Amino acid sequence: MNWKDKVVLITGGTGSFGKKFTRILLEEKRPKKIIIFSRDELKQHEMRVAGFDHPSLRYFIGDVRDQERLIRAMAGVNIVVHAAALKQVPACEYNPMEAIKTNIMGTSNVIEAALDAGVKKVLALSTDKAVNPANLYGATKLAAEKLVVQSNAYAGSSSTRFSCVRYGNVVGSRGSVVPLFLNQRSSGKVTITDERMTRFWLSLEQGVHFVINCIEQMEGGEVFVPKIPSTKVIDLARAIAPEAEIEIIGIRPGEKLHEALISEDEARTTIELDSLYVVQPAEALWFGYAWDKKGKRLPDGYHYSSDTNTEWLDIEGIKKFIAPFEKHYQEGKLEG
């Protein structure tokens, strides 16, 4: 795939993922144009003055809730990466309709605008919390996934194709527990909700490269899942603040002990490759199932969960993983 003649739009482009995606795309792929679509003029200004002033960049103020603005922004666009979302679990629980308007209706607007504008590829970012959701955020992302995948059915004779990526917690991203633990360390006490808790982890850079790889491979209808390590949250706390007291404060409403990236039901249509899984739609005449020839089927009863994962980060592994974020924190550059 030749990126140099492509125009890329990223919703939520001023977020942690959006900025890293933009930087890596400019350095490694050099597309014709990248459009940063977001609703916050201050964050766009801060992004510009932080060095994101490449001549290929364009900044569009707009909200994914506004379909007309999306259609205007997508004129001439080849690829859309849909990263805009309300993602803080407590905020979504307290403001449920706002989460639905952004995460579900906003995704619907992105789909409709992409179809009307003739965009070739749309890749939406999802989360492990969409698998067997226990909170409203997860439920909205599950609905968004279903919208994206099934939109291939009514793309009709157009060439627009829709797929998703689904991965776990991103180390050091906005709202991550890593900045929280780094901030709590100086007080001598770190809080976790349950000592049994496990999570999937990947770096922001890993997430970006995974998205780029999936854009290049997608046919439409897939949910791409990377193979990534698990860690115990208590080990993460010990790696960041080894001298601090750990206080167990109790699991929060809507929080799970363990997360899953592939459910047992989804595993029946999932193909395993060397570095990722491809969840194929259960039934769709528009999907060719070409992935069957590229990998292998999963065994009956398989599910991909953070507590039964075969790949784990121990405390030393975690320290190496978070070293770049420790450095950024010391320099005052880590986003909380």
Active site residues: 129
With H, G, I as helix, E, B as strand and everything else as coil, classify residue 300. Answer: coil
Work out the angle at residue 103's Cα, subtended by the Cα atoms of residues 98 and 106, and round it to the nearest 5 degrees.
95
In which element (H, E) is residue 325 found?
A: helix 315-330
Could you give the CA distance from residue 298 to residue 261 in angstroms, rounded to a whole number? 14
Strands 189-192 and 245-248: parallel
Partners of 162 in the β-ladder: 122
Tell me if 13 sits within 8 A of 24, measured CB to CB. no
Hey, what are 229's tokens?
A: 């390590």
Q: Which residue's structure tokens are 């459910």?
A: 263
Q: What's 201's DSSP letter?
A: E
Residue 241 · residue 110 · CB < 8 Å: no
**Sequence letter at residue 139:** A
- Residue whose structure tokens are 């909200």: 63
For residue 7, which of 34, 30, 26 has the smallest C-alpha distance? 34
- Give the CA dihedral 252, 257, 259, 264, nearest 10 degrees: -130
d(CA 182, CA 233) in angstroms, rounded, equals 14
Which of 173, 162, 261 is CA-nearest to residue 219? 162
Straight-line distance from the first to the last Cα atom of the chain, in angstroms, rounded to the nearest whole number: 35
